[in-house]
Amino acid sequence: MDYRQEEYHEELQKVQDRDFTHSWVSSSAFIFYLSVFCFMAFTFGSCYRLYSKRFENSTPQNVQVQGSTLYTPKYTAPGGK
């Protein structure tokens, strides 16, 4: 009887050593690597989404710009003189 009890405790210890919930060291490492992977996946997904939905027309052709906002502004005299 004592032999079976001892064997049972040895098997139980082996199972608990391999079990995720009973080993703090392996569970914390697993959670760390899982969080790093999720962060990298989120970052890559966000960058891909921004790249695929980027603004296509970066040089518009027919845009009317106010003269006073140009690089060399053009001003008119007040009162139309």
Instruction: Give residue-wise pLDDT tens across range 57-78.
Output: 667 678 788 888 888 888 877 7
Residues 33-50 have a mean pLDDT of 96
Write down the pLDDT at residue 79: 67
Write down the pLDDT at residue 55: 73
Q: Are 28 and 36 in contact (CB under 8 A)?
A: no
Write down the pLDDT at residue 20: 64
CB atoms within 10 A of CB 23: 14
Residue 68: CB partners within 8 Å, gap ≥ 6? 74, 75
The whole-chain average pLDDT of the chain stands at 81
pTM score = 0.47
Q: Are 27 and 17 in contact (CB under 8 A)?
A: no
